[in-house]
Structure 1
Amino acid sequence: MENLTVNEGKTAAIISHFWVIGLIIGFILNMNKRNDFASFYIRQMLGLNVLQLLNGWVVYRYLGSNAGWIVGVLLFVLWLISLLAVLKGEKKLVPVVGEQFQNLFKGI
């Protein structure tokens, strides 16, 4: 049964990894028939997108472009870890902040 859940939610989970537009499309695809696998990755990507926006608005402005660039690279690595886990069909939290994303956005 778990393999069926992964296969059904994989498309929405992959689409949600492509910035805000993909996140919105993945959320809409998951609205009618809620899939636990897709919801897990939608929450992850919502959190990473919020961090990316904060990086652009706060870190670049107040800490400088070097700090913003470093945070951007770290966020890209987290995004890549998440995308590779989706492609493998695994539920894998992104390091450091993944559990907080799951708790913060548990209503999704």
Structure 2
Amino acid sequence: MHASITQPTRRLPLSLWVSIVLFVLYSVLGIAVCVSLPTDPRLLVALLTVSPLLFIGMVVSVVDIVRTRKRGDAGQTYTRLQWGGLILLVVAMPLWLAIAILIVSLI
């Protein structure tokens, strides 16, 4: 028997899907918190309580990147999409915290 190398069947990596879903959920929460900040600035803590979800998403992304790299069968575009998903999660929390803090400081 010969070992065969198969190409990934997904057009978009699993880690990118997870990143997109978590980014959208975190963005919805970020928008809700930013809208409610004028009445209750303590809602800023709500953004911090959801950050473990982003951490779990980052772990999923890193595991997906490592598994794909070990298999060695992914194209450059596929790998870039995986890294894009990881960057999306890394940027999500600081982005929305900065926006919320800016809103609080302007009030």
Shorter chain as denominator, the TM-score bin is: 0.3 to 0.5
Rg (Cα) greater in structure: 2
Scaled by the length of structure 1, the TM-score of the pair is 0.41
Scaled by the length of structure 2, the TM-score of the pair is 0.42
